[in-house]
């Protein structure tokens, strides 16, 4: 094919000698970093991994509602640096974002810094080499980095979510480059997240949450569950994150050392979520600034919360609004709180292989038929 490269769903020829990396910058098809020029051979390999039919439209991506055909999906994956075997994960993730409950149009256009966080569970994560261990939220792993980047390129190039244009985020955040990890199932003392939600351990799933960046939780002292969880409660109980003023879903990431200590004292997943939900709160006087700006009745909070000075305003309405994952390396007593976007978006858990085989509902590995 020489210097010709595939530019979009319609094949366009690029003059011989063109600096392809610079050309893609000029066309506005990058995320600010250089992309891999998508050759026909590379794109066809990804389309094949998606099941063929290059013109089949998987979805329309808001807010521009561009058509995401398999060929266009493949082009963006190749530009991001993905391998063809990542294709089912990328497709499942973008389709999960397309669910009405996720409100991708709002996530793309909000002034908040929310970005789609992807957590992968099941055998596929190990098979394609995703990192759920040391530095999982950082650099150095091709699968994590390029899968998350492919999603962002689709949101930019197909959805039109470009900063300052349809993306109105005041600050943005690094997760708007890539925000994808796997759960560290091997180091977790509890059943994996997707098993907790009723999937079989042999199923592979994607979980998507519109989220802020991780907020570090440091506790090198506590040798009991309550001590560690009180540190997480402290991180959750601020008046500045969206959960504090708009309720909704969030994620809590527990490092393996903290998880082993907590589980070693007999605490299960539901115990952890219940403790955090019960104890993470602010007073209404705090989130209303003690009436400094007049009488405030925050319409975004659930109707059943009291709007009284000494009323406790929970960070989440129920324990099930906390999505708990074990992620991170074996050494280091760290965890993280990841606030959500608030009540405006609900997370989506989706099987990578279609609907997936449903399992009995499981709690901490104990199934109730």
User: Domain locations in the chain?
Assistant: 1-212+345-369, 214-340
Three-state secondary structure call for residue 350: strand
pLDDT-derived band at 12 (thresholds 50, 70, 90) equals low
Q: 300 pLDDT band (50/70/90 cuts)? A: confident
Q: Taking residues 1-13, report their average pLDDT.
A: 45
Residue 180 binned pLDDT confidence (cut-offs 50, 70, 90): very high
- The pTM of this model reads 0.93
Mean pLDDT of the chain: 92
Asked if pLDDT for residue 61 goes beyond 60, the answer is yes
Closest alpha carbon to 344 in 168, 181, 180, 211: 211
- Assess contact for 29 and 157: CB atoms under 8 A: yes
pLDDT for residue 369: 30
Question: pLDDT tens-digit profile of 279-295?
Answer: 999 999 999 999 898 88
215-253 pLDDT per residue, tens: 999 999 999 999 999 999 999 999 999 999 999 999 999
DSSP 362: E
Burial 69-106 (b: 16+ CB within 10 A, else e): bbbbbbbbbbbbbbbbebbbbbbbbbbbbbeeebbbbb
% of residues, the chain, pLDDT over 90: 87
Q: What is the pLDDT of residue 356?
A: 46
């Amino acid at each position: 094919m020489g210097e010709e490269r595939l530019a979009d769903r319609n094949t366009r020829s690029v003059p011989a000698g063109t600096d392809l990396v610079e050309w893609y910058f000029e066309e506005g098809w990058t995320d600010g970093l250089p992309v891999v020029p998508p050759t026909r051979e590379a794109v066809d390999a990804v389309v094949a991994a998606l099941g063929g039919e290059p013109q089949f439209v998987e979805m329309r991506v808001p807010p521009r509602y561009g058509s995401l055909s398999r060929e266009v999906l493949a082009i963006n994956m190749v530009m991001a640096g993905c391998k063809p075997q990542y294709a089912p994960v990328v497709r499942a993730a973008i389709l999960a974002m397309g669910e009405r409950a996720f409100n991708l149009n709002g996530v793309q256009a909000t002034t908040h810094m929310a970005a789609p966080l992807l957590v992968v569970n099941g055998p596929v994560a190990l098979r394609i080499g995703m990192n759920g261990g040391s530095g999982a939220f950082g650099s150095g792993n091709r699968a994590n980095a390029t899968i998350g980047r492919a999603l962002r390129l689709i949101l930019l190039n197909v959805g039109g979510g470009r900063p300052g244009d349809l993306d109105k985020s005041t600050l943005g955040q690094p997760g708007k480059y890539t925000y994808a990890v796997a759960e560290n199932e091997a180091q977790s003392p509890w059943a994996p997240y997707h098993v907790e939600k009723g999937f079989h351990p042999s199923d592979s799933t994607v979980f998507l949450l519109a989220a802020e960046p991780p907020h570090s939780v440091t506790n090198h002292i506590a040798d009991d569950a309550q001590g560690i969880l009180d540190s997480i409660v402290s991180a959750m109980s601020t008046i500045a994150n969206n959960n504090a003023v708009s309720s909704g879903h969030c994620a809590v990431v527990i490092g393996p050392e903290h998880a082993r200590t907590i589980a070693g004292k007999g605490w299960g997943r539901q115990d952890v979520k219940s403790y955090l939900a019960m104890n993470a709160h602010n007073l209404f006087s705090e989130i209303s600034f003690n009436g400094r700006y007049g009488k405030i009745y925050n319409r975004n909070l659930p109707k059943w919360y009291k709007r009284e000075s000494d009323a406790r305003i929970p960070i989440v309405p129920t324990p099930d609004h906390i999505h708990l994952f074990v992620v991170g390396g074996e050494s280091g007593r760290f965890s993280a709180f990841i606030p959500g976007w608030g009540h405006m978006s609900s997370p989506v858990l989706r099987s990578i292989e279609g609907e997936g085989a449903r399992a009995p509902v499981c709690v901490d590995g104990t199934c109730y038929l």
